[in-house]
C-alpha cells in the first residue's frame, strides 16, 4: 500500500513539475513554421532604373510567399541575393528577411557607378525565383 502511495505522490510531483517548467515557451525562441507549399515571387516597382554619373539609384521590390491558389504565408525565411550590381536593404528592420502578415519581404535595391543587368534571386525552402533589373546610364 505504501508503494502505491509513493508512486502516486511521485506521479503528482512529476505532473506539477511538467506543468510549471515544460509547458510554457514564452522565451520567444519558437521554431519557424514548417515550409509549406509556398513559393517565392519577386515584384519590382521598375524593371529599369537610371543612374546619373557619380550618383546613386534605387528602386523598391518585394518577395511574396504564395501558394498556387494565391494564399500568402507569413513567418517564412526568404534567402535574397543580388549579383553582380548593387545591394539590397530590407525595409522592415525587425523582420528583415522574414515574410510579414501579408506574406511579403520588402526591400530596396541600391546601386552606384556601374550600369548593366543585375539579378535578384529569392529562395524559399526548395523553391526559388529570379528577376532581372536593368541599370542604365541617365541621359
- Provide the CATH number for the domain around residue 95: 2.60.40.10
- Residue range 34-60: average pLDDT? 89
The answer to whether position 109 is within a domain reads yes
Q: Domain span at residue 132?
A: 39-137
The answer to whether position 2 is within a domain reads no
Chain segment 109-126, per-residue pLDDT in tens: 999 888 999 999 999 999
**pLDDT above 60: residue 104:** yes
pLDDT band, residue 29 (cuts 50/70/90): low
The answer to whether position 55 is within a domain reads yes
Please tell me the distance from the alpha carbon of residue 90 to that of residue 84, in angstroms, as a whole number. 18
pLDDT band, residue 28 (cuts 50/70/90): low
The answer to whether position 93 is within a domain reads yes
The answer to whether position 87 is within a domain reads yes
The answer to whether position 26 is within a domain reads no
The answer to whether position 48 is within a domain reads yes
Task: Specify the number of domains making up the chain.
Answer: 1
Residue predicted with more confidence, 7 or 41: 41
- Residue range 33-45: average pLDDT? 82
The answer to whether position 33 is within a domain reads no
Report which DSSP code applies to 84: S
Please tell me the distance from the alpha carbon of residue 4 to that of residue 12, in angstroms, as a whole number. 12
- Residue range 1-13: average pLDDT? 57
Amino acid at each position: 500500500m505504501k508503494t502505491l502511495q509513493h508512486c502516486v505522490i511521485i506521479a503528482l510531483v512529476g505532473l506539477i513539475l511538467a506543468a510549471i517548467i515544460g509547458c510554457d515557451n514564452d522565451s520567444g525562441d519558437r521554431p519557424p513554421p514548417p515550409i509549406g507549399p509556398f513559393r517565392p515571387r519577386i515584384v519590382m516597382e521598375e524593371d529599369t532604373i537610371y543612374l546619373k554619373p557619380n550618383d546613386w539609384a534605387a528602386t523598391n521590390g518585394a518577395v511574396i510567399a504564395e501558394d498556387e491558389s494565391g494564399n500568402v504565408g507569413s513567418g517564412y525565411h526568404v534567402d535574397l541575393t543580388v549579383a553582380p550590381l548593387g545591394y539590397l536593404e530590407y525595409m522592415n528592420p525587425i523582420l528583415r528577411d522574414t515574410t510579414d502578415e501579408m506574406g511579403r519581404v520588402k526591400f530596396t535595391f541600391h546601386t552606384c557607378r556601374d550600369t548593366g543587368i543585375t539579378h535578384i534571386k529569392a529562395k524559399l525552402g526548395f523553391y526559388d525565383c529570379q528577376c532581372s533589373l536593368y541599370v542604365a546610364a541617365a541621359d
